Amino acid sequence: MKAGVIHCRCSKCFTVPARKRVRKRVQALTLLSLPEEVLLCVFQCLSPEDLLAVRAVHSQLRDIIDNHSSVWAHVSFKDTWPAPNTVWLFERAAEKGNFEAAVKLGIAYLYNEGPLLSDEGRADVCGRKASRFFSLAESLRSSSADPFIWVFIRPPWSPTGSCCKAVVFDRLKAECDTNVGRRGPLLHCLARVLQLFDDDKRSEALMLLEQSSQSGCLQSSYLLWETNRKTTADPGRYLQCVRTLRDYAAKGCWDAQLSLAKLCSSGNPLGLEQRACADLVAQLFRSCPPVPRRAPVWSGTDGGVTRYILVDWLVEVTTMKDFSSLTLHVTVGCVDRYLALRSVPKAHLQLLGIACMVVCTRYISKDILTIREAVWLTDNTYKYEDLVRMMGEVVSVLGGKIRSPTLLDYGEVLLSLLPLERRSAHFFSYVCELSLLYSSLTSYSPAHLASAVLLLTRALHHYAPIWPGQLADHTGFFKQDLVPCAVLLYVKCFSKDVPKDYRHVSLTGVKQRFEDEAYQHVSKEQVIDFKELCQILEVSDLEPHMVLPSLTGHPADIHTFLSSPSSNSKRRREESLPVHRGSFVATPTAELSTQEETLVGDMLDWSLDSSCSGYEGDQESEGEKEAKDGESDLVIKLELASEHEDLKLHCRALSSDDDSFCEGDKEREEYEEEGQGSARSRPREPLDLHSSGYSSVQSASPSSNSPLPGFRLLVPVQRPRAAAARRQVKRKNAAAHSSGETERGDEEVVYASGVGFQSL
């Protein structure tokens, strides 16, 4: 075919092979080909070390990181603390607007924890650096948070020598004259510090509050209003005072909104119509912050029990130090808000709880919990620097917002609206603190939960009507909206299945707190039964067992809780335990409740499956595999047993009577004497019926036999091959006498090998 001839599209010409067309390769997408907006979102999720590594890859990436301050402003310093080799990273991020870096640098320099400095002039150098970053953190805090840096420099100050807190105070006071933009919040912090001193500095504190209010600080204006309110006696001036409070509330001051709701619920100071006055109070309940979409993350599948143990211990600390109930509620609120944003290992949950209490006592109470005392309360499980760093983590993650609306705040409004008798008011507070123990109740907003507690209190104390129309108008909640929450409160708070610690002691910190005469012994009060409560609430008679088995409110939790850990991994875990006392967790382990033990029977075979272990890396040792092989013949005999006999043996194995456990204990003792046990037994501590399980609250010395973190589960002891062989010989000898005796002997052997229980 000649070149240059144009062919038609007929079938003959079309079949002539044409030249191969070379396909162009599609250009591969790289990081540099992404849009700049996408790269910024990716860079903001990196750690500082990874960000520096990416910056060194290409000049284009370096320019993007250096020219956009938002990258450093949003970089996360999670679980990272300023050190001599990383201080410059924190300082760079803080100068670019990173709140977390500024807070951690301020606390690190204040307590001299992290950056290594010489002892010469340490207080002056650290004070100057701490004041610089505290001032920067105050300017970067969340708009919904109140000024907070005064929490760290409040008294007591060091009586001898130079004090770093005093240096920070003087430096911040000097900065107020030069930095007009930060003048209002800084003057407010200085005034809050002076208010905690003796009377000779109160006048200076009022002067600073006035200057801060003139600079536009809303919180200072409210504090001045509280001071002037006490001295206002003229009705005309009092009306103007209330109108001023309404203006502060309209600008978004939470304390002003709460005070206005209390005034309007107890009377009508503004002279408004009844409906308008009720709407002002209902607006506070409607504006209650919603429950976070992400529920607090408690480590492990037994999060409800873990929360119960932690909060019960915080209640004991509150009782021992005589802190207010508000301090306890704010502390638990900080713990929940922190866990809703970041996960914490189980070994650090107690550290998180005590760090939140240290911060909250400094914010609310005049008497504080010092850091060294807090470390002692944890039985020296954690060190001084661990608590300081956790305080920085908490404040930085919460954005400086320490105080948040609590259950007690809305309760005060409700009690001022419709007061209760003194005993009923104590019972209301008792149920409020009991509600802190259960994670399933955190799904309700504080306003909803406070209204449900009031409904339950009025129902149990036979008030009529239990939910008047006045409460419905001022809160916006009707009776049918609160009944489900009230029923759940009754089932949770007055259940007899209370979790126990590793010493089989019930965790009853709240109950012991309200057994005091100051609360009229309301915790000893006998409440009505569930059926009578349903009749009072006018609901169908529901069985309370629907929510009893799981403390977390999720039925699936109990299944996972029973499945871990398996007995095969106990020896390996105990052999790998560090000897140092600081590695142990002071949080006690909880025992299975009565109802949870009854569920073991239905899921015993499933829970013993090694694949269901909730612990990664659980593997069987060779000795354990041999012991399991030695029991294979016994398992076969158990499967071939008759249905009637199986049921009988099953009931015996799962019985919680003392006789059944005594038989299991005898088998365990024989097994340990042979030297093939999984782990040596530890001496049992004497029972203390007035403790929640934290020995640090009751004694100052560390406990030498602190348990491992985790929860105990009863599982069958595996008998070694040699013992199983002796049992086989015994059965053969018994078979020579009578066949009937042989079957009965098989029964006893299978039971003895399968139901010797040991506690993990």
| CATH number, position 521 | 1.10.472.10
- What is the mean pLDDT for each group of 10 consecutive residues in the chain (760 residues)? 56 57 70 87 87 89 89 90 91 93 95 71 85 94 90 85 86 92 93 87 92 94 90 81 93 93 88 87 89 57 74 95 95 94 91 97 93 94 95 95 94 95 96 94 93 96 93 94 94 86 84 93 93 90 46 35 32 37 38 45 39 34 41 38 41 38 44 41 39 41 37 36 44 44 40 32
Q: How far apart are CA 151 and CA 155, in angstroms?
A: 9
CA angle at 115 for the pair 109 and 118, rounded to the nearest 5°: 90
Residue at 672 is within a domain: no
Cβ contact 336:442 at 8 Å: yes
Residue with token string 């002003």 = 256
User: Average pLDDT of the chain?
Assistant: 74
Residue at 164 is within a domain: yes
Strands (E), 449-537: none
Q: How far apart are CA 93 and CA 77, in angstroms?
A: 10
Answer yes or no: do 56 and 111 share one domain: no
**Which H or E run contains 716?**
strand 714-716
The pLDDT, as a whole number, for residue 427 is 97
Q: What is the pLDDT of residues 450-479, one digit of tens each?
A: 999 999 999 999 999 999 999 999 999 999
Answer yes or no: do 166 and 237 share one domain: no
Which one-letter DSSP state was computed for residue 81? Answer: -
213, exposed or middle or buried, with CB in 10 Å at 0-12, 13-18, 19+? buried
Answer yes or no: do 118 and 184 share one domain: yes
Residue at 587 is within a domain: no
Answer yes or no: do 167 and 303 share one domain: no
Answer yes or no: do 464 and 346 share one domain: no
Residue at 24 is within a domain: no
C-alpha torsion angle, residues 734, 735, 739, 742 (rounded to 10): 50
Cβ contact 316:433 at 8 Å: no
Cβ contact 221:248 at 8 Å: yes
CB neighbour burial string for 301-324, b if at least 16 within 10 angstroms, e if fewer:
bbbbbbbbbbbbbbbbbbbebebe
Per the structure, how many domains does the chain have? 5
Answer yes or no: do 121 and 212 share one domain: yes
Cβ contact 420:428 at 8 Å: yes
Q: What is the pLDDT of residues 355-380, one digit of tens each?
A: 999 999 999 998 899 999 999 999 99
Q: How far apart are CA 297 and CA 220, in angstroms?
A: 36
User: Which range marks the domain in which residue 533 is found?
Assistant: 406-544
Of 497, 515, 544, the domain-final residue: 544
The pLDDT, as a whole number, for residue 160 is 66
The pLDDT, as a whole number, for residue 528 is 93
CB neighbour burial string for 63-77, b if at least 16 within 10 angstroms, e if fewer:
ebbeebeebbbbbbb
Answer yes or no: do 295 and 417 share one domain: no
DSSP per position, 108-168: HHHTT-SS---STTHHHHHHHHHHHHHHHHHHHS-TTSPP-THHHHPSPPPSSS--HHHHH
- Other CB atoms closer than 10 Å to residue 529's CB: what's the count? 11
C-alpha closest to that of 183 among 209, 215, 225: 215
The pLDDT, as a whole number, for residue 248 is 95
Of 508, 524, 544, the domain-final residue: 544
Residue at 753 is within a domain: no
Residue at 665 is within a domain: no
Answer yes or no: do 538 and 442 share one domain: yes
Answer yes or no: do 539 and 411 share one domain: yes
Cβ contact 466:451 at 8 Å: no
Answer yes or no: do 295 and 390 share one domain: yes
Q: How far apart are CA 460 and CA 530, in angstroms?
A: 10
SS3 label, residue 633: helix
Distance between terminal CA atoms of the chain?
90
- In the beta sheet, which residues pair with residue 500? 506, 591
Residue at 653 is within a domain: no
Cβ contact 564:518 at 8 Å: no
Answer yes or no: do 278 and 386 share one domain: no
Q: How far apart are CA 61 and CA 52, in angstroms?
A: 10
The pLDDT, as a whole number, for residue 477 is 94
Answer yes or no: do 94 and 38 share one domain: no
The pLDDT, as a whole number, for residue 353 is 96
From the CA atom positions of the chain, what is the Rg in Å? 33
Residue at 596 is within a domain: no
